[in-house]
Structure formats: C-alpha cells, structure tokens
Structure 1
Amino acid sequence: MSQLELNYQRKTVNVKEMFKNPEMLTLIGFFILCVFFSIASEQFLTGNNISNIIRQVSINGILAVGMTFVILTGGIDLSVGSVMAFTGTIMAGMMINMGMPPIVAVLLGILLGAALGYINGLFVAHARIPAIIVTLAMMEVARGAALLYTGGYPLSGLPSSYAFIGRGDLFGIIPMPAVIMVLVFIIAYIILNHLPIGRYIYAIGGNEEAVRLSGVKVKRVKAFVYLVSGVTAAISGLIMTSRLSSGQPMAGEGYELDAIAAVVLGGTSIAGGRGHIFGTILGALLLGVLSNGLNLMGVSPYVQRVLKGAIIVGAIYYSSVRQKD
C-alpha cells in the first residue's frame, strides 16, 4: 500500500472519529446556525441581540448544569422549571412584602431550592421511587405553591439594585448572567473532575451496583445530585426574576425540556455514566442561538416546540446508538 493511500485512510479514520464525538458535532452545528441566521437576519449579529442570547443562554445553561449531574447518575429531573418559578416568587415576595435586603432573600431562595432538590433526592435514593415520578410530582407541587403564594399574579416592585443581577453588565461590557453562569460551570467542573464525589457520580451512572459493593454511599451521592439541581434551578430563578423585575409564578414553564436537550446535545448519555460539562455549555449555546434565530425569522413558537422535541428525540437516539458502539 502506498504512502498516499495510508495518509488517505488515516484522514478518513480521523473524520469518522470526529463525527463520533458529540461535542464536536454540537460545535459544528452551533457555527452552522450562527452563519445561517447571520445571513437570514440582519439583526442577528447586532450587539443587543448577542447580549439577549447570552442572557437567555445563561438561564438554561445554569439549569442544564444541575441536570447534567442528575443525568450522569442515570436519573432525570422534571421539576427544575417549577422550582425555578417557586424560588423566584419567594425571593421576590421576601423583598417586596417583607422588606428583606436582596442578598438575604437570594440566599434564602437558594437554600429553598436546595431543600426542594434534596427532597427529590431522598425519595429517589432512599424510597427508591423512580426519578421521573418523584420529579413530576415535585413539578406540580412547586408550580402549585408558586401560584398559591402569588394568587396567580406577578409580584412587582422589586428593588432597583436587584435588577443588576439579570440586566446589568460587569464593567459595562459582560452581562452579569454570563458571569454567574461561568462561575457555576467552573464549580461544576471542579466537582465532577477533581473531587471524589465527581468520580462516584460517573461511576453510579455506569454501574450503580458495583459502586455500592465497593463501599460508596450511593444514596448520599444520588441525593446530592438532586440537591445540586435544586440549587441551579434557584439560581436560574434568581436571574429570571431580576430580568423581569417581578416574580412570575408561571416562569420556567417547559424549561426542563430545554435543560435536558442541552445536556443530551452536549454528549451526556441519557443512560448515565458518560458526558462532560463542556458539552453542556455547547448544547445550551446551540439551543439559545436556535431559539433566537427562529424568533428573528418570525417562526411560530408552536413550530419551535415541535423542532425542540424532534431535536431531543434525535439527540437521545444518537446517544443510545453511541452507547452500543
């Protein structure tokens, strides 16, 4: 075989390996969408629009971080959108009705999100109830609690200083939601890649029984990942409430699907045990650009929901096929 043929075979193998890499596929898809929408709409590459994309991606990206932890263990959390709304309205209520300083309200709201997530984890890990059932129930409980607390109406009149979190810019350039998202990703990366609990999370998704037999407290780890999901939902609720300058009891509806889509598009196996936090970032960016571009083109939100559903199914199918290889 000639050197030319060997080089050709090596290039062919490299291309095949590249297309087996889900993160690379998502990155390619992201750039293709950016090029397409920049041609299709003159508004796409404007400064205001890019800032809007970043702010919206930040909310879903933070939600997707918690979802990554859960899915890596082979679980699912359908309650994140409702927990986001409930914690957001509670934070707003503490500031508006009780006169609490924003920092105190924010900390208590995040603690509430952690508590709700931990309750999910206790039922999943200790009561051994399927995650989809537990989190579906929590989705209804948290949404109902948000509506009950607000009477079904938005809570307005938040302090002007609170708006900086969702609408302000650090140094007048970097959107604050993006700063928060980057900090959340860094913390998540350290936990998953440099701490023992991160190794346990991956291992549980790969073979839970083997991890249990090795002496790891599997129940504690599984409760922890749902706690993380509750915290990230509360942080997203904080940003959303600040952006809207009100506590919206119906905020975050359908966001759980966006978070799942970002995680799976980023290459995390829906069966657990395989994935990377950087892939989640790429998945959130791709979905943010897609939603924004379709809005600029005037595509119906109903059509967008169909497209997102198809993307989720396609990503899960690709994930299952890759799992078998």
Structure 2
Amino acid sequence: MAMLSPFDAAVGGDVPFVARRLFGSVRLHFSEGRERASRLVSARLGQCRLTRLNADAHLVDGSSVRIDGGRPDMIKLILQTRGLSRFHQADCDLTVGPKALVIYDPAYSYRLENPMPVEVLMLQVPRETLPRALAARLRRPLAAPLVPGGLQAVLLSMMQTTFAELDRLDAAGRDSLGRAMAELTRTIVAGCAGAEAQADAPPLALLFDRMKAYVTENVRRADLDAADIARRMGCSVRYVYKAFAAEGTTPADFIWEQRLATAAEALRSRPVRPGSIADIAFEFGFASSAHFSRLFRQRYDTTPSQWREAAA
C-alpha cells in the first residue's frame, strides 16, 4: 500500500477523488453541484487515520472496496456530529448520528445514505488491532452507544480534540494518539460483541438444562470446565456462572458432583478386580485414587471400597 502524507485536505469537487485515495475504491455520489459545499481534512496518526468530512446530502457506495487491488487492511469507525444517516451492510440497517459510533469492516460491501448535510468523523485502525475472532465478528457492523463517561465518549472526545490540536502535534504525538485510539477501539468492539452474546443467550433455566445435559455427556473429560461449557452453549463464561448460581451451585461444584455420581454408579455395576477403583478415579478426571477417595467420602460419608462392598 502506498504511503500517505500525514495530512490531507480537499474541498468541493476534489473531495470524492481524495476519499478514494484514502479509503479505497469507495464512491461518493452527490446531486449536481452539491459537492461544492464539501470539505475533508485527514491526518495520519501512526498506523491509524482520522478524517473529518463536512458535506451536503450524498450517497457513499462501498460495494467491493479495494485498496491497491487488495482488501482494505483497516477497520473503520464513524460518527456523525451533525445530521442523521442510514448505514446498510449485510442484513443490518443502522442509524448513524451523534448518539452512537458505528464500527464496520469495509472489506464487506456497504452503503451509507446521507439525505441531509452532515459532519462525519471517521477513524481507521489497522485490522490486526483486533483479535481474529473480533475481526470476524465485523462481518456485520456494530453500533456502540455513547454513554456519558463511557469509552465511546472518551474516544469521541479524543477525536475532536485531535482536530483542534492538529497543527501543533509532532510525529511522536500523532503516533501516540493513534495507538491510544486503536486500543480504545479494540476494547469497545470486545465489549459490544460480549454484550450482544449476552443478549442473545437463552433464558437461564433453559440454558441450565442444556448445560446439565452437556456435563453429563462429557463428564469423563478432564478439560471440562466453565470456559468449555460457555463455548459449547454460545454464551459468555460470566453467563454460565450466572446460570449455575441461579441453581445454588457453581460450574466446578456441579461437574465434580456429576463425576462422583457417575463414578459411584460405576463402582456398583462393574466387576471387582485389583486396581479397579484407581481405574475409575482416573477415568472420571480425578487426580489420584486418594483424591477420589477423599471427595467420595465427603459426598457419601463412606469410602469407595465400602460403597462397593455394600452394593455387593
């Protein structure tokens, strides 16, 4: 990708051409003569780029965006401090305005309809800023509401202050600001993705029934834990703990309870032979036969061998 200058500016009919140079093969469509009121200012902040666009009504066509023949290597964040617009990508339609940041991946086709004059702040951050799973989440856009005192509001304030101080920032200052904005973006995306997963999670009672069945089916696995359950259920680890807490237990306690119950049944039903208690202990994930015997006695008030003798 060709190096861009630290500062770029354009007015009127030059704005669509500079926008293509900065953002790839994106097209800005104005009604006849309306592009004359447009003004664009852009600054490179280390690996990030911050841009402000003032423009009359227009349409942004981001279908099949390419930069130097390849997919865009930047994630994009936009917020409008003036005017309201509609953002379309995949099966999502989001309002772009002063109440929420919209974060999206321009590698996937999009369209931004601006039916009125707008002032838009745009931040581009390197794709590698986000872990791969979060970057994949941006196949669909995210809306991050601006809450007073929240990270989104902090990021917006940084963006606005940067433009006010742009002429006085040296290269080191721009680079430092870019790193800070990229880190804030990463944290915001992670928080929004986690909140969506939480909102999409099933009711606790139904989820707990699914968790119980999963634990029962996988009770022999030594790596069975809350994180594994969360991955399987498609929810957060915190939500897993919440579901178990509603039943008066924890994931770890429930797993060990199920291991003990299944091991106790195995002691009753399997033939007696030397070493069979130790075999059962290891089969159900206990660290040793002593560990198994200690927990077994705490639960059933008898030893595994006494339990088996009583069953016989």
TM-score in terms of structure 2 length: 0.27
Greater share of residues in helix: 1
| Larger of the two Rg values belongs to structure | 2
TM-score in terms of structure 1 length: 0.26
Greater share of residues in strand: 2
Asked which structure has the greater RCO (Cα within 8 Å, sep 6+), the reply is 1
